[in-house]
Amino acid sequence: MVTLSHNLSAQTFTLTGRVVDENANPIEFASVSVMSQGRATMTNLKGEFDMKLRSEDSVVVKFSMIGYKSKTRVLRRPRSKQTLRIVLHSDNELAEVVVTEQRKQTGTIQKIDKKDVNSMPSTTGNAVEELIKSQAGVSSHDELSSQYNVRGGSFDENCVYINNVEIYRPFLVRSGQQEGLSIINPDMVESIEFSTGGFEAKYGDKMSSVLDIKYRRPKRLEAKVSASMLGAGVYVGIANKKMAWSNSVRYKTNRYLLGTLDTKGEYSPNFLDYQTYFSYKPHKKWTIDFIGNISDNHYNFTPEDRETRFGTLENVKNFKVYFDGQEKDVFRTFFGTLGITGQLDKNTKVAFHTSAFHTREQEKYDIQGQYWLTQSETSEELGVGTYMEHARNYLTANVQSFKLSLDHKRGHHDIKAGFTYKIERIEENSSNYEMRDSSGYSIPHTGEDLHLIYTLKSRNKLHAQRSETYIQDTYKFNSRGGHTFFTLNYGLRMSHWNFNHETILSPRVSLGIVPAFNHNVVFRVAAGLYYQAPFFKELRDTTTIDGVTQARLNDKIKSQRSIHFIGGADYRFKMKERNYKFSAEIYYKALNDLIPYSVNNVKITYDGQNKCSGHAMGIDLKLYGEFVPGTDSWVSFSYMNARQKLNGKSIPLPTDQRYALNLFFTDYFPGTERWKMSLKLAYADGLPFGPPHKGAEMMSFRAPAYKRADIGMSYLAFDGKTKKKKNIIKNIWVGLDCLNLFDISNVNSYYWITDVTNHQYAIPNYLTGRQINARVMIDF
């Protein structure tokens, strides 16, 4: 009997099979393991697997994949060859908490976990953008703004999509104080995908990044109510077998934060946003989706006085201003998109999307300031004078788009193609001037006549049509041995704009490799030709005659161009039974036909002509994982060099942030998971700057580094999962945030004053100070 038992245990058998999802689609890279024998393998691109095992009385085989419910099969005395077909079902609950970054990223788009967006301390209320700011290669120097720079690109070089439709922003916003709520509603988001370069041909003509948002269809009645000292929001979702409908109303006011600025006065910012997402399935193969958004943003400001101390310990200057006047701004936008998607057969899907964007904006201010600049140590008067700023800026924009797309899977190929037609109408009427008086003399002082230091008049209309088309293929294949996996994406994008009669072609390619020697390693390379198709702001070419600057639309403008070369790798590993992922990417972007620009706060002013060439190169590093068991944290570091050549002179790009370090850390209090702490740190190099209205070549100064720490404490006051009886309330979280924990005075921009001798002083405009924010969130 002992000999017979020994012979049976020595027998082997072959286990083969296929792992698919509920729709019979193969699941690649699923884990197939027999823990008792220490054997494991992964499914290939067809979801297939095979492995040799010892025959025993019972062999327990486990099938698992992130985002799916694990499944176990017990084989009784298996012999010879066993074949299984395993269906894994998606785990909706797991999808809310899973570390999604542990999925293999074989392309240039990374999936970002959205579970921490509601627990992060936030100053803007735009949680998704604040999450993006903490990623490697991304930078921001203004906690009041949701805008960000990617690898040396400007704010305008970032493409944003919601449910496959491109999103537009208001045009006249010049400061973070004026910004309202982003159109991206974090309560409605299902997935976040982000690329810092080398992205696929299906994404639009931008040079820097892509943020691809998908909204989720609620599966049952659900609701959320949130409130804080910075705003409030209500979300409600309902669903049945054929229909899902979600609605959200958000309100934001940053008056509380603005009270920490140097400029004191009556701040009255009010930002209101309503958003709806309706999805209907009249047939199992057809879906109709509608997204609507109304945003009504008002920024009213009556300044009173300002006092700013700046300089060094040995050389302290004091700037004191008393104000008259006020500012009244309105940014009212409407956005809607209708999509129809049909599954023609098992492998072919077709979709039609139409969208409309409308914005009506006005910026009006008349503000006079009487200032004194003194040397603090000696009370010496360095400058005294008056300045007056006037603006009457009005803009109306309408953009309609029609998009037809096709998705066809054939074998190892996933082919996507699309065509988009856009109609663009923009009308602008602007009048601005600045008057400066130093010691009773108007600047600039000639002794003969009177001039304002700056005057701008602009009255323009843009009526244009734009067509875009793309085709791309994602080809997944194995090596001959079947243990090395390749993902090849290649495609071509073409667009034409009738305003400047320009046609551009954008070929793009990327390759991801999962090597046979270690399936926890992924290598990526990508290259492509990317264009920044001009829009309204890039077209404004200015000329100055008799002291008055006129802005006209330059119909000779060309698209800016960037050639991307990217190489990267991911390494997944475990330490003390915790999951981690280390990512590294190096990149080089060759830039041509650049349009010089300057940045003041968040306002970008373009030169209006293609004058420059340049480059951006650097390295991005990121470590992501469970720094503390059961939580997600990450640290990222970026180093970059971004320069341009203007009029034969090499100068830094306005976004030349040489280094940046970001940390997001979460932890639970010892002995309990009810108390949770979130810490957000940012340390980034300052950006180049120069005097206003002087052009990019005069940006010979560099601002101090941006340093900020925000910490938030959250307490789970009610947990419905622990109650035996069903509760309407799912959970209640209450929290307390300390924003700008160390009360660091970060510089956002500079105000320049000029004395009668034409000597200029740059007065720093400091951002917000330390502030406490209380919040509560109730899930139903």
Model confidence pLDDT, tens digit, residues 156-192: 999 999 999 999 988 888 888 888 889 999 999 999 9
Structure tokens given for 654? 């306005």
C-alpha 288: how far from chain center? 27
Distance of alpha carbon 593 from alpha carbon 335, whole angstroms: 32
3-class SS string, 705-723 = CEEEEEEEEEEEEEEHHHC
pLDDT digits (tens, 9 = 90+) for 247-303: 999 999 988 888 888 899 999 999 999 999 999 999 989 999 999 999 999 999 999
Q: What is the pLDDT of residue 2?
A: 41
Task: Output the CA–CA distances (angstroms, integers) from residue 364 to 94, 171, 271, 329, in the order listed.
Answer: 50, 14, 17, 6
Residues of the chain above pLDDT 70, percent: 93
Name the maximum alpha-carbon separation found in the chain: 118
Distance of alpha carbon 534 from alpha carbon 558, whole angstroms: 7
pTM of the model: 0.86
Per-residue exposure over 599-610, b if at least 16 CB sit within 10 Å of its own CB, e if not: bbbbebbbbbbb
Residues 702-731 have a mean pLDDT of 86
Distance of alpha carbon 506 from alpha carbon 492, whole angstroms: 6
Residues of the chain above pLDDT 90, percent: 53
Burial class for 753, CB neighbours closer than 10 Å (0-12, 13-18, 19+): buried
In the predicted structure, residue 549 carries a pLDDT above the cut 50: yes
Q: What is the pLDDT of residue 472?
A: 96
Query: CA-based angle 144:147:149, to the nearest 5?
Result: 125
DSSP of 378-435, one letter per residue?
TTEEEEEEEEEEEEEEEEEEEEEEEEEEEEEEETTEEEEEEEEEEEEEEEEEEEEEEE
Per-residue exposure over 476-489, b if at least 16 CB sit within 10 Å of its own CB, e if not: bebeeeeeebbbbb
Query: Who contacts 599 (Cβ-Cβ below 8 Å, separation ≥6)?
Result: 154, 605, 654, 655, 687, 689
Structure tokens given for 721? 């999962």
pLDDT digits (tens, 9 = 90+) for 456-474: 899 999 999 999 999 999 9
Q: pLDDT-based confidence at 529, cuts 50/70/90?
A: very high
Q: What is the pLDDT of residue 757?
A: 65
Q: What is the pLDDT of residue 158?
A: 94
φ and ψ at residue 126, rounded to 5 degrees: -100, 80
Q: pLDDT-based confidence at 753, cuts 50/70/90?
A: confident
Q: pLDDT-based confidence at 12, cuts 50/70/90?
A: confident
Q: pLDDT-based confidence at 647, cuts 50/70/90?
A: confident
What does pLDDT average to over the chain? 88
Distance of alpha carbon 328 from alpha carbon 395, whole angstroms: 15
In the predicted structure, residue 99 carries a pLDDT above the cut 50: no
Structure tokens given for 86? 């395993």
Q: What is the pLDDT of residue 670?
A: 82
Per-residue exposure over 120-144, b if at least 16 CB sit within 10 Å of its own CB, e if not: bbbbbbbbbbbbbbbbbbbbbbbbb
Q: pLDDT-based confidence at 35, cuts 50/70/90?
A: confident
Q: What is the pLDDT of residue 121?
A: 85
In the predicted structure, residue 509 carries a pLDDT above the cut 90: yes
Strand residues in 626-726 grouped as ranges (E): 633-646, 649-652, 659-668, 675-684, 688-689, 701-702, 706-719
**Coil, strand or helix: which one is 130?**
helix
Structure tokens given for 709? 């720490």
C-alpha 99: how far from chain center? 19
Under a CB-based contact definition with an 8 Å cutoff, are residues 759 and 436 in contact?
no
pLDDT digits (tens, 9 = 90+) for 653-679: 999 999 999 999 998 888 788 888 999
Under a CB-based contact definition with an 8 Å cutoff, are residues 604 and 536 in contact?
no
Residues 602-608 have a mean pLDDT of 87
Q: What is the pLDDT of residue 357?
A: 96
pLDDT digits (tens, 9 = 90+) for 349-395: 999 999 999 999 999 999 999 988 888 888 888 778 888 999 999 99
pLDDT digits (tens, 9 = 90+) for 476-496: 888 876 678 899 999 999 999
Q: pLDDT-based confidence at 598, cuts 50/70/90?
A: confident
Q: What is the pLDDT of residue 352?
A: 96
Task: Output the CA–CA distances (angstroms, integers) from residue 591 to 213, 412, 611, in the order listed.
Answer: 28, 35, 11
Long-range CB pairs of 232-240, under 8 A, 24+ apart, other chains included: 233/187, 235/185, 235/187, 235/188
Distance of alpha carbon 475 from alpha carbon 489, whole angstroms: 6
Q: What is the pLDDT of residue 758?
A: 67
pLDDT digits (tens, 9 = 90+) for 299-317: 999 999 999 988 887 888 8
Residues 517-543 have a mean pLDDT of 91
Start-to-end CA span in the chain (Å)? 62
